[in-house]
Amino acid sequence: MTYYRNLLLGLLVLLLASCKTDYANLPTYTPTKQLQAVIEVPAGTNRVLQYNPETKEFIPAKEAGKDRVIGFLPYPGNYGFIPSTEVNRQGEALDILIIAESVATGTVMEVIPVGVLQVEVAGELKPVVVAVPSRPSEQLISATDYASLSRQYPAVKDILHKWFANHSPTTNTKVAGWRDDRFAEEMIQRWMKL
């Protein structure tokens, strides 16, 4: 009896160890209609991580065969993606940057989009949703829409503009401009997987 119990317990442990969260296919919105974001790169770090949906692991991004490290200031917010969105044929999710204290890779946060920073990388437009945590206790700034961000925190927009324009000198990166929170919501809806 002990042998079978230990065998069953061992199989259960093995099964649980092999279960990994499928971050790419989490719901875009919670049941209470809060947007979700998955953090790949914590605020304040220079090492670029990305989620691999095949292995369900966060792995170092590569550049010229080496782990990609930002040779500029560290990420000014938590960087990641909006789950269950797809912006191109390669299956890439919609990028998001959350203005908040640093949180661990793999954290799923409920957020409020406050705008979209449109970045042009090598001639291709790449939108980055800019958001704040939905929980007031986690918010570093009190802006919860584009108007309040622009009015109360214009320096945040300037800092993000400069960071994205300069963080990767090897790619021809330009900032094309900002769009408001309404545009962000419409864009998220458009890129949600059906």
Each domain of the chain, given as residue ranges in start order, spans: 20-191
Report pLDDT for 170: 73
pLDDT band for position 191 (cuts 50, 70, 90):
very high
Q: What is the pTM of this model?
A: 0.88
pLDDT in tens, 102-123: 999 999 999 999 999 999 988 8
Report d(CA 49, CA 60) in Å as an integer.
4
Report pLDDT for 172: 78
C-alpha 100: how far from its chain's center? Answer: 12
Report d(CA 82, CA 117) in Å as an integer.
15
CATH-assigned architecture of domain 20-191: Alpha-Beta Complex (3.90)
For residue 10, is pLDDT > 60?
A: no
Report pLDDT for 64: 85
